[in-house]
Structure 1
Amino acid sequence: MDRTDVVRRRKLQKTLKPSWVFAIALGSSVGWGAFILPGDWIKDSGPLGAIIGLLIGALLMMVIASSYGVMIKKFPVSGGGFTYAFIAAGKVWAFICGWFLSLGYISIVALNASAFTLLLKFLMPGLMKTHYLYTIAGWDVYMPEVLIASFLILLFAFINTTGANISGRIQFYFSVLLVGGVVLLGLFTFGFAEQPLENIKPYFSGKQSILTSILVIVAIAPWAYVGFDNVPQAAEEFRFSPRKATMLIVASLFTSFLIYAIMIGLTSWTFPEMAGNSNLWPTGDIVFLSLGRVGLVIMSIAIIMGIFTGLNGFYMSSSRLLFSMARARALPNLFRKIEKKKKTPIWGIWFVALITLPMPWFGRQALTWIVDMSSTGVSVAYLFTCLAAFKVLAWKAEPAGREVAPVKKALSLIGIIASIAFLLLLLIPVSPAALSAPSYILLLCWGIGGGIFYMAMKKRYNSLTQEETEYYMLGKTIESEVMETKKDVHESPLIINGASMTKG
């Protein structure tokens, strides 16, 4: 291979502030589901069962987030799970992880676009339910929803091409409106209810045991909180120390849980008889009945901000993942091209738009099958991230020069176990959170497609030496990282009698 090509390793511009990265994680984690699904969760598990399940899920995600923090600090580059799978298990597993993760990110872009049309169907049914086209899997498809979803997909593609500083700043403003709207709704409905704490009863669903009620919600944690893992995709663009990444991710997860808890609370403590009914959107009905049109406007703004932050955040993460895979030669060169002035992976962004534009035509039900199936890919990324962190950390000082961090290493081990548990809950047919039959079929088809694509890219992907692959993925070789760790350990300054000395 021409060594001058190695020197020209493409890099992204460092423009993202800590507050923007926090907003990327928070806004990507909290989407339409926090506002649309509380009624379903209460019906399945009860208010307290749903809140406990989401709290446990958030804590497990925080454990996994500690592994992301370890890897971001050591390797602040784009790629996330794809890069970490390479460190943990090599190039083949990196490709598998990247293949499934890319589908997860891209399909969530389309799902957020369709969620906006779902909100409009509730607010303006007369407009949205015109120009009927056809029905797919029981879902009626209308022309307005296709056109509006397509417009949003193109709009956020354009926003992301303007540079990470623009999309990051917008993400922050959207997130402020999102959090502000949820807090106002929670306070107003709590004050409106006569006996809010009494209204929450019964705390759990009577259809099943308390444990099952909680586990059903814990199982959706990878979906409910997916988005915090967008942070490592943006790590190469941090304009601050990567050491802050763990704190930002944990803070975003805790804030995400509070938003979920408030929305479940107001759905149950305002009009308890409506909380688990079969209406299309009980939460929306409850807000309208208690706070009128003003409440519905506040809630609509919060939902729109949740949708927009999801669109923006997953455009950023999916395009960076494609860029990282192309830089490692797992995808064609087109995806590693960077816009000269804005330093954005422009063709990766427009590819995401191109792939997602047909999705609204298939109806929301078919799209949810894809997203449910892609939750498997996200869980696989969690697993490899924890494996990579476990690999690069050490229980105690050793000649290999790995960082000694027994607590973090123990957390990575817990993260491995949690990730495997999430995968089992999704993949074992008898599990209460098992994928639906269509999702299983789509998962198999996507896997077969990945195998075919890998065979086509195998020669190119394997044309790089191990050292060159490490350089393209990580910006340095793993050996150099070990040497830096040894240097940190053995050359940390000591002050003796006022003079600076070094160990060894």
Structure 2
Amino acid sequence: MEQREQLEKCLKPQWVWAIAFGSAIGWGSFVLPADWIAMAGPVGAILGLCIGAVLMIIIGVSYGFLIKIFPVTGGGFSYSYLGFGRHHAFFCGWFLTLGYMSIVALNASALALLAKFIIPDVANFWRMYSVAGWDVYFGEVAIASLALILFAWINTRGGSLSGKSQYYFCLLLIAGALFVVVGMLLSPETSFANMKPMFQPEISAWSAVFAIVAIAPWAYVGFDSVPQAAEEFDFSPAKAFMLIVMALAMAALHYSLLIMATAIAMPWTELVAQGPVWGTGEVVQGTLGTLGLAALALSLLMGIATGLNGFYIATSRLMFAQGRAKFLPSVFGQLHSTYRTPTAGIVFTCAVCLLAPWFGREVLLWIVDMAATGVAIAYFYCCAAAYKCFKWSKSGKGKDYEGGVSPFKKTLSLLGALSSLSFLGLLLIPGSPGALSMPSWIALLVWGALGGILYVKRREHIQGVSKEHLDRMILASEA
């Protein structure tokens, strides 16, 4: 019988919470408040993100249940196999891989963007060319590349190092953000009157709110790093749901406070009309001076670090699960002989992401815009699989797993699946508030075509291996 490679159980609860929280907020909470305010107004942006968090928590119910019963790596890939079989698992895993990998690349480019604001002479060294209107400098490419290599090295050195690092990154992030928010609230130069009008006046209030809700799968992606790390828990998997809820609640609070801190500095309509490179950075510097900007920059740096580290963990574990089942080449299913980390997935993620800075940030944003599609697909499969596992009653349909008779949880799983479909609709239906742009559609179709080619090449194994073998490799089931 083929040996099943097993990840080391080394992650503590606080580290797993940090992986979920740090990945969910990343750099976006510091860089994008002005953009979100421009889309929906301050209250519209906060309301949209809070509604998104509630929907994510509903989806998190299904994740928490499935982690408890199947504490294996793979997340949406494993759960789509559980609920719908091997072909659906390949489809879900392929698009989820893109979603995770593109966020690794985007976090690296966000570091280069921070450098443009803090150390412009370094970041803007040697303009090489322009892509889609974005000037590409050797300095920013070098900064992004060094960050990608550093975090790849951290992740190859063991789950304990990456988990512990994530926890301390989060503590520094929270400390810096609290300093900024409290400082902005107490400053005599700020006023809540600057938050008026509360919604974007050019569109209806609900259209503004749902434009923000549409990005929730992207804004909160990262909480689903928890099932990717489930195989490495050194604690009961039953705690996973509470860790997910805590991470999402804190992420929503964090987003809301940073939006508020940005909006109270000056009339927000004037701020967005100026089109600042970094709206939050400029108003904090103008209100709190160099010390405030330094605290914000530290928090942003830690947000980028948590995003890079968290999504390296998620991407490499997802690819490991696919490689262990041989949906990807078997090298991805092997672990480092000393550190017991999925090195092939880490190195491959690093290599692909090292290409991204050379194409410019605008092209990368096209890819990331459609990456939310892959994440929403995974959410749907997870909730639909959980729905199939729960029973309405003892005589009802459903798989008889532990706690299988639960009408309430079955209803929440159904709501989670419907929410996921709603997210997909907001992204894919032309004319919807969060509809993908044409370049993002092209990137989505290209990635789908590449997946089709890989499927054809791996079809013999995917179709030919026995269900019992895949159950053991994907779900650790010996039945």
The TM-score bracket by the shorter chain reads over 0.9
Task: Tell me which moved more, 267-276 or 367-376.
Answer: 267-276
- Tell me whether 1:338 sits opposite 2:339 in the alignment: no
Counterpart amino acid of residue 428 in structure 1: I
Indicate conservation of the 8 Å contact 2:123/2:143, yes or no: no
Superposition pairs of residues 10-409 of structure 1, within 5 angstroms: 10-193=5-188, 196-273=191-268, 274-277=270-273, 278-398=275-395, 401-402=400-401, 403-409=404-410
Instruction: Tell me how far apart the structure 2 counterparts of residues 248 and 180 of structure 1 sit (CA, whole Å).
Output: 20
Q: Deviations over 1:366-422 (max 9, x none)?
A: 011111111100000000000010011111223863411221111110001100010
Counterpart amino acid of residue 322 in structure 1: M
Instruction: Tell me how far apart the structure 2 counterparts of residues 31 and 242 of structure 1 sit (CA, whole Å).
Output: 25
Instruction: Output the TM-score relative to the length of structure 1.
Output: 0.92
Instruction: Tell me how far apart the structure 1 counterparts of residues 146 and 462 of structure 2 sit (CA, whole Å).
Output: 35
* Matched residues, number: 473
- Tell me whether 1:451 sits opposite 2:448 in the alignment: no
Instruction: Tell me how far apart the structure 1 counterparts of residues 190 and 23 of structure 2 sit (CA, whole Å).
Output: 34
Q: CA deviation at 1:33?
A: 1.2
Instruction: Tell me how far apart the structure 1 counterparts of residues 36 and 470 of structure 2 sit (CA, whole Å).
Output: 45
Aligned-pair identity (%): 49
- Tell me whether 1:474 sits opposite 2:479 in the alignment: no
2:337 match: secondary structure = coil
Counterpart amino acid of residue 153 in structure 1: L
Counterpart amino acid of residue 470 in structure 1: D
Q: Deviations over 1:420-477 (max 9, x none)?
A: 0100110011112110101101111111111111010011223320111111101015
Q: CA deviation at 1:197?
A: 2.7
Instruction: Tell me how far apart the structure 2 counterparts of residues 197 and 292 of structure 1 sit (CA, whole Å).
Output: 20
Q: List 4+ stretches of structure 1 deviating above 4 A.
A: none
Indicate conservation of the 8 Å contact 2:156/2:343, yes or no: yes
Counterpart amino acid of residue 201 in structure 1: K
1:134 match: secondary structure = strand
Counterpart amino acid of residue 140 in structure 2: E
1:361 match: secondary structure = helix
Indicate conservation of the 8 Å contact 2:169/2:306, yes or no: yes
Q: CA deviation at 1:195?
A: 6.0
Name stretches of at least 5 consecutive residues in structure 2 with no aligned partner: none
Task: Tell me which moved more, 284-293 or 192-201.
Answer: 192-201
Indicate conservation of the 8 Å contact 2:96/2:374, yes or no: yes
1:133 match: secondary structure = strand
- Tell me whether 1:441 sits opposite 2:442 in the alignment: yes
Counterpart amino acid of residue 51 in structure 2: I
1:279 match: secondary structure = coil
Name stretches of at least 5 consecutive residues in structure 1 with no aligned partner: 481-504
Instruction: Output the TM-score relative to the length of structure 2.
Output: 0.97
Instruction: Tell me how far apart the structure 1 counterparts of residues 347 and 425 of structure 2 sit (CA, whole Å).
Output: 35
Indicate conservation of the 8 Å contact 1:275/1:283, yes or no: no
Instruction: Tell me how far apart the structure 2 counterparts of residues 444 and 43 of structure 1 sit (CA, whole Å).
Output: 30
Counterpart amino acid of residue 454 in structure 1: Y
